[in-house]
Amino acid sequence: MRLRFLYIAFICFFSQSFSQNYEAKVDSLMRLMTLQEKIGQTVMYSGHWDQTGPFVSTDNGKYIREGNMGAMLNAMSVKGTRDLQKIAVEETRLGIPLLFGYDVIHGHRTIFPINLGLSASWDLQMIEKSSRIAAEEASAEGIHWTFAPMIDVSRDPRWGRISEGAGEDVFLNNEIAKAYVKGFQGDDLSQPNTVLACAKHYVAYGAAQAGRDYHTTNMGEGELRNVYLPPFKAAIDAGVETFMSAFNELNGVPTSGNKFTLRDILKDEWNFKGLVVSDYTSINEMIQHGFAADSIDAARIGMNAGVDMDMMGHVYRLHLKKLVEENKVSEAFINDACKRILMAKFKLGLFDDPYRYSDEEREIKTAYQSEFLTEAREIAAASSVLLQNKNDALPLSKTSKTIAFIGPLVKDEYNIIGNWAAKGDRDGKAVSVFEGVSEYLKPKQILYAKGCDILKADTSGFEEAIRVSKQATEIVLVMGEDYHMSGEAASRTDLKIPGVQPELIKKIREANPNKKITLVIMNGRPLNLSEEVNLVDAILEVWFPGTMGGAATADLLFGEVNPSGKLTVTFPRNVGQVPIYYNMKNTGRPIPESNPKEDYKSNYIDIENTPLFAFGHGLSYTKFNYSDLKLSSNKLTFSNTIDAQVEVSNTGSKDGYEIVQLYIHDKVGSVTRPVKELKGFQKIYLKKGETKTVTFTVSVEDLKFYNSDMVYGVETGEFEIAIAPSSEFKFESSFTLIDQ
């Protein structure tokens, strides 16, 4: 026991003497460690949660005491994590503290819109703020590490986890990845209100075949490098400390055993110095993939490929020592993995004070602060997208005689915070749409009928809903998905609004042919709204908007906030168009504008090629006009830049935000290029009648891509350019890149 305290004192001495020299600290500690203790750092197991708080199984307690656990997930609260940390620090030979991780995806206690919704704000400051608040709340409950952000580019709405990402565009994913990392990790990781961020899922998980979770991905290296890898590189550039290997296989190799992506690209080419953790049992799952013969083989493959920590798999703890002894795994790989894990703990300041995240007073006062709730309300409104507004159905009037609010999500407080909602309160803190509109209307102005459930095929509530709709001056339908219908293991082949909700919409329109009807949609993915666009006047996409979602929705419905969100993912006309995204490539037989149904062209015989709602689409209660696009030069060289500017005018009757988007098209390349690519955006505020000049600077860096030889560079030639309110436009200007 005395020896243990000598080691602790030794470590503390180095912590105080070399406060910033993490390499020296880690090297000093590792010289004291046995091989098995180093392997112990590579092991993560799960705590559990019940009504009394976190607890660990007898086995997990044993593993901690033996030094056979480096991190734990799903354990939180100051008392719970302190008790567990006390075992690691005071009952083990070397007193190495644990890392506590938890899935803090779009908020911890104060829940923000789902990540796909957050991306629709196109507001990097808001996104960073949401993750900063999440880090404040999570760290106050003893959490050191979140398994976010998810930065998988995804173009398939069938995939449930599309809800967790930033949509289909590479450039936007890059920028949003950086914002999340900065928010979670702050400017100084040694501060106790920060958490380690984790870039996931590495890599190409969002391209699962048929949109089915955990499924195979196949693609060329060019697509991998041009589309799916860039957000992860952006996260590294932002200082992300950890990565998570994915569940899927990529080109026949499971990503948790893929040396090419993990060692060759991530650790060698990109020089990533942080730690890589497997997704939950993904190392073991290489057996089911048919890539590993058994758990011993899986442990060998995972460590050799570059996965530093085994989440819940048991294979590293059980097999790595023997594999090293048999020369099947290099001890250098164990040392490297251990060093990466210890570095993270030193950076968090856990060796200076293992209980720095164990402040009970801070825990009590941090969650649901009024300023957090105010931010959540503002961000939820900015993340919502006005898809359609025929006949100026919105905003609603506060003086309307009666407004009918109909649908299973009107009074909902449970689904509104969405999937992966951490420790968000679904029954008390969440604000329903009904509560939100009650801030604006008197009780006698509000009529309500549930009408139906989200999923049940029960139409018994239709009669009441139709009766209520007939009594109202205007009608608002609040419908959508159950929160379990998106997120992990929630793939769908039917993208329509579920259950009998579509039938109820038809019945209400039939009963009210001349009334204005607004549809508020809550969901975690793009839906097929091809029938609804003809049945309702306005469609407001609020996603799953979070704790203050109902209040934010009411702010939008009554015009207190002018909608400004724009889609970051395409809404198809039906599931048969999937995958459909704005920056697809052309074919040798594109559809002629003069005859979209011409034979022997790349079209469908039963539906248009175009989406229902395109990437970048989003309406406002005012009107914006774009005019007078100018380029500072029509020639770009390798050493200069050109400016593209446009006049944006608010020609409507309300002040509002507009998201101005820059697109470029490389007309001819050594490999085919997308028909258009987002290369910049600005969110500007314009008062009614105001005009602003918006300028983007274009350089050769904006034009680079990986060619067929996997060389990252740029090619001379002609480029089309546009500044537009969405991806629906025709190029009318161009410039030439010349070698000069």
First to last CA, the chain: 71
- The total of other beta-carbon atoms located within 10 Å of residue 9's CB is 10
Are the C-beta atoms of 681 and 122 separated by less than 8 Å? yes
Residue 407 in contact with residue 478, Cβ under 8 Å?
yes
Helices 295-305, 331-347: axis angle to 10 degrees equals: 70
Q: Is residue 4 a contact partner of residue 92, using CB atoms and an 8 Å limit?
A: yes
3-state secondary structure of 467: helix
Residue 689 — φ and ψ, nearest 5°? 85, -5
Contact in structure between 338 and 68 (CB atoms under 8 Å) = no
Q: Give catalytic status of residue 279 as yes or no.
A: yes
Which letter does DSSP use for residue 514 in this model?
T
Q: Sort 279 into a burial class: Cβ within 10 Å, 0-12 / 13-18 / 19+.
A: buried
How many angstroms separate the CA atoms of 342 and 345, rounded?
5
Task: Compute, in degrees rounded to 10, the torsion defined by CA atoms 614, 618, 623, 624.
Answer: -70
What is the H or E stretch that residue 220 is in? none
Residue 601, Cβ density class (10 Å: 0-12 exposed, 13-18 middle, ≥19 buried) = middle
**Which of 123, 152, 156, 279 is labelled catalytic?**
279
Residue 125 tokens, joined: 């400051």
For residue 482, give both structure tokens: 């159950």
Instruction: State the pairing for strand pair 474-480/403-406.
Output: parallel
Sign of CA dihedral 720, 721, 727, 730: negative
Question: What is the C-alpha to C-alpha distance for residues 306 and 453, in angstroms, rounded to an integer?
Answer: 47
Beta strands in 47-176 (DSSP E): 48-50, 53-55, 71-73, 99-102, 145-146
Closest CA to 612 of 256, 213, 157: 157
Q: Alpha-carbon distance 539 to 530, whole Å?
A: 12
Among all chains, which residue has been given the structure tokens 């860039």?
A: 230
The CB-side HSE value for 499 (13 A sphere, CA atoms) comes to 19
Task: Return the closest-CA partner of residue 685 out of 738, 622, 596, 729.
Answer: 622
Rounded Cα gap, residues 220 and 202, in angstroms = 16
DSSP 697: E
Say how far apart CA 62 and CA 379 lie, in whole Å: 44
Amino acid at 255: T
Handedness of CA 727, 731, 733, 736 (dihedral sign): positive
Which residues are catalytic, by number?
Answer: 279
